[in-house]
A and B are shown apart, each in its own frame.
Chain A
Amino acid sequence: MPDSISLSAVAKKNIQRNPGRSFCLIVVVMLLSLFLFVGTVLISSLSGGAASVANRLGADIMIVPEGFDPHVDSILLSGKPSTFYLPSYAFEELEKIKNDVGIEAMSAQTFLATLNASCCSYPVQLVGIDFDSDFIVKPWLEISLGHELHDGEIIVGYHVAGYPGDTLQFFSKNLNVAGRLEQTGMGFDSMIFMNRATIAVLAKEAERIRERPLKNDGSLTSVIMLKLKPGFSSTASAIEINRLLNNKGIYALFSKKFVNSISASLITISKILSFSLIALWLLAIVIVALIFSLSLSERKKEMGVLRALGASRGILIKLNLTEAFFVSFYGAVLGVTVGSVLITVFSPGAVEALNMPFLLPSKTKLILLAVISDFAAVVTGVIAALWASVKASRVDVHEIMR
């Protein structure tokens, strides 16, 4: 290979041989692309979680003990465990008004929180479901069980370490894993489901262990999920149920309400994120522009020499922008790489910390976000260098007369 030196090779050598300056530039662009990537992934994970949470939940209305709706929020959305019960007459009361408010299906669930379990490093929510009438959990099964959910069998959420054939112990009872759920992006992901007979046994055991009696009349129903007939609005029906069953200690929540409360916090988070991203972006532009301007004014003589050797203004600008492109490119790729690692390591924790539904975008979308972040960071770097490059191209010939 004969010796050769393309203009982009000149740019690369300028980068290599100014390690201090290049390092600063790369770090600035890296931070920019890192925050762009992580920020956009965060926003889209949250909105991905929220947008379809109503669909995921599968219920139009949830009946919960009066005053417990905040608990329900955190159970369903982030899987924060809690134990509470509806009055025992709740099911019958609902049966009575079933046709007035348009209830098509009802399924009761029992919530029982554990403090420690063999499977998990954090407390989990045990949920007793009526497998027959259930329309909430079944759709999420990875593989259909092909049979009833027997006593002593459990279905585990996506984040629970337990596979068909494994045994997990709760309240000193051994339970067999019969199936797993797909990822839902909701609290389901860290829950464990069983039939209501099984959870009743566990609840008794829990009572014994904690030496604390059940707080009300022995009912083991925590929530009742309702599905409405077509044509009935969940808002209107929930209001109607609350009116009809006023003062009975039960409360109808329509699932839109979750979405609304999620959206509100989501908007706040997005706003904060976008604001920080814009601030960071401006800062990056200023810093990159400054570093370039300083280093180019230090290299005025070099620019003058290039002019003398026959580089036109355009070529000089191109050379400096190529330099900016390479440092920005290295920085951007580094940023997205670091971002990907952070997301992989920390996104499971984010679900808990944020108390919001969190669903990572699909691989394709992640790659797209990575490419967009890279692109935006590179463009930013190059644009920031533009002013300094144009200025440098107007170098005064007197620089080479000294």
Chain B
Amino acid sequence: MKLILKDIHKEYERGGKNFTVLEKINLEISQGDFINIIGRSGSGKSTLLNIAAGMLRPTSGLVELNGENLFLKNDSALSLIRNKKIGFIPQGMSALPNLNVIENIILPSYIYPSREKNFAEEVAARAKDLLMRLKISELEGAYPSELSGGELRRVIIARALINRPEIIIADEPTSDLDVKTSAGIMEFFTTLNAEGMTILLVSHDLDSLKYGRRVLTMQEGNLIEGNKL
């Protein structure tokens, strides 16, 4: 697994004027990394993560996953890569409200369902395992509106893991959670990483700083090594 961001520059248009959010970002993420990016609200962290996940096209620069330039692919091919290789955890509450917990978790597997004989059994077994690891087994049949913030985050983490991605990209996975719940989730990421999962996440509470093998700060559209807040 190797994810490379090369000379990423991103401008938005607002009020008819362009303004730069990402100046010139270079970042290389290798197998087993656990990168924690911090930065003030509005500094461009989400923009960077969405570009890294192949969701958002940069104004210039390129994103390579395992040597493949993501933004040269058409929508179907890129979508397939997102589905199979990237476990994306969007900012905020992103469970689908009309599906219950177990359905939310297995959904990514059914976007491109396999014809293999034991497909459904395997997916279900993986889901059960994730529910157990995240300690939400008893919530299987519950709907998102019935869950607490922490429970919802766990569901979304399980969903990101169901297709056994090569990398987890998480946008403020602990925002709006109490200290204890946040810690529990960060511990989970740490364990995942210890098992070999590559993780790129963004956080803005300083409590999360102690997690991650490498901390970067987003400042004025550039990434700076270490905690510069």
Residue numbers of A with Cβ under 8 A of B are: 2-7, 10, 13-14, 16-18, 301-302, 304-315, 397, 400-402
Contact = CB atoms under 8 A, between A and B. Distances in A.
B179 interface: no
Contacts of A16: 98
A5 B110 contact: yes
Interface stretch (B28-36, B118-126, B184-192, B207-215): B118-126
Contacts of A10: 96, 98-99, 103, 107
B47 A401 contact: yes
A314 B159 contact: no
Contacts of A301: 94
Contacts of A315: 79, 111
Given A10-B107, A302-B97, A304-B90, A3 B124 contact: yes
B166 interface: no
Contacts of B99: 5, 10, 13
A309 B159 contact: yes
Contacts of A310: 79-84, 86, 108, 111-112
B53 interface: yes
B98 A313 contact: no
Given A310-B79, A313-B75, A315-B111, A4 B98 contact: no
B107 A401 contact: no
A337 to B, nearest CB: 27
Contact of B123 (A2, A308, A402): A2
9 contacts: A5-B99, A13-B98, A13-B99, A13-B103, A302-B96, A305-B94, A309-B83, A312-B80, A313-B79
A277 B97 CA distance: 38
A175 to B, nearest CB: 68
A310 B165 CA distance: 12
A315 B79 CA distance: 10
Given A2-B123, A309-B111, A312-B80, 10 more contacts: A2-B125, A3-B123, A305-B96, A306-B96, A308-B82, A308-B88, A309-B82, A310-B83, A310-B84, A315-B79
B84 to A, nearest CB: 7
B42 to A, nearest CB: 11
Contacts of B96: 10, 302, 305-306
Contact of B124 (A4, A14, A400): A4
A2 B80 CA distance: 24
A7 B98 CA distance: 13
Output the residue of B98, B106, B124, B125 with the most chain A CB within 10 A.
B98
A17 B97 CA distance: 9
B98 A3 contact: no
A397 B107 CA distance: 19
B103 A3 contact: yes
B50 interface: yes
B112 A5 contact: no
A309 B80 CA distance: 9
Contact of A401 (B79, B82, B123, B171): B171
Output the residue of B55, B81, B127 with the most chain A CB within 10 A.
B55
B90 to A, nearest CB: 4
Contacts, number: 103
A14 B110 contact: no
Given A6-B113, A305-B94, A310-B112, A397 B56 contact: yes
Closest 4 CB pairs of A and B: A310-B83, A2-B124, A312-B79, A400-B90
Output the residue of B111, B120, B159 with the most chain A CB within 10 A.
B111
B91 A402 contact: yes
Output the residue of A3, A313, A315 with the most chain B CB within 10 A.
A3
A64 to B, nearest CB: 70
A3 B127 contact: yes
A312 B120 contact: no
A314 B80 CA distance: 12
Output the residue of A304, A305, A310, A401 with the most chain B CB within 10 A.
A310
A308 B96 CA distance: 12
A16 B55 CA distance: 30
B226 interface: no
Contacts of A307: 55, 79
B121 A2 contact: yes
Contact of A397 (B50, B81, B84, B124): B50
Interface in B35-93: 46-47, 50, 53, 55-56, 75-76, 79-84, 86, 88, 90-92
Contacts of B223: none
Given A400-B91, A400-B94, A401-B46, A309 B108 contact: yes
Contacts of A304: 90
Contacts of A4: 106, 110, 120, 123-124
A7 B108 CA distance: 10
Contact of A314 (B76, B107, B108): B76
B157 interface: no
Given A2-B121, A305-B96, A311 B79 contact: yes
A6 B113 CA distance: 8
Interface in B164-220: 171
Given A13-B98, A17-B97, A5 B56 contact: no
Nearest to A4: B120
A17 B121 CA distance: 26
B106 A311 contact: no
A14 B112 contact: no
B26 to A, nearest CB: 22
Nearest to B51: A397
